[in-house]
Amino acid sequence: AQRVTQPEKLLSVFKGAPVELKCNYSYSGSPELFWYVQYSRQRLQLLLRHISRESIKGFTADLNKGETSFHLKKPFAQEEDSAMYYCALGYGQNFVFGPGTRLSVLP
Amino acid sequence: ETGVTQTPRHLVMGMTNKKSLKCEQHLGHNAMYWYKQSAKKPLELMFVYSLEERVENNSVPSRFSPECPNSSHLFLHLHTLQPEDSALYLCASSHVRGNEQFFGPGTRLTVL
């Protein structure tokens, strides 16, 4: 079965420090990868998708097919980035979410 | 209202009650989903509907019963729930099955 792994359940960094949220997937075809974010008391929402190659709120993610990874990065974390982050894989008619990483940005 | 809406936003029920959660999407999507979100399992897929037909049922207990009368509406009927069913229930939709999903705000369910 296709899988998405996020090895860290919780990641704590200090404000202004770089942050990297790891995501690995298992799929042999052409995947579509996404990052979703859920801020406290807000709905789960799409942060970015790999096909757009965009930067949202300072976050970027590059698809590395060789390493089957789609890590989310931001050079300088802000306190408002504290949230739950889910990596997701779309393949064919299926869509699977990873277990999520809770990012806590400390002042 | 645009996007995906869910009602009620909060629900408290006893173990012998029967209640229903409602989801409505105004995006013209053809696929709809129910998820359970709890501290134990952050995002657990329950049911998938595509063109009003149930295409996935992830070993969910029969005390949860979904209904999709049309492509815009999705219900989750609840009866004889257990306290461990207390969680945030999220509805989502996508243009077609497999595309990126758009989520509702969720229903916070507490079973006493």
Q: What are the pLDDT digits (tens) for A34-76?
A: 999 999 989 999 999 988 878 889 999 989 989 999 999 999 9
Please report the residues numbered 14 through 33 in chain A whose beta carbons come closer than 8 angstroms to any beta carbon of chain B.
32
Amino acid letter, B4:
V
Determine the residue of chain B that is closest to A93 in CA distance.
B98
Task: Note whether A98 and A37 are within 8 A (CB).
Answer: no
Determine the residue of chain B that is closest to A31 in CA distance.
B98
The overall average pLDDT reported for chain A is 92
Considering only the beta carbons, identify the residue of A45, A86, A90 that sits closest to B43: A86
* Residues B10, B15, B19, B22, Cα dihedral to 10°: 50
Cα–Cα distance for residue pair B1/B20, rounded to 1 Å: 21
Determine the residue of chain A that is closest to B96 in CA distance.
A93
Q: What are the pLDDT digits (tens) for B31-47?
A: 999 999 998 877 889 99
What is the nearest CA distance from B47 to chain A, expressed in angstroms?
12
A29 CA to centre of own chain: 20
Cα–Cα distance for residue pair A89/A32, rounded to 1 Å: 6
Q: Does residue B1 carry a pLDDT above 70?
A: no
Cα–Cα distance for residue pair B41/B20, rounded to 1 Å: 22
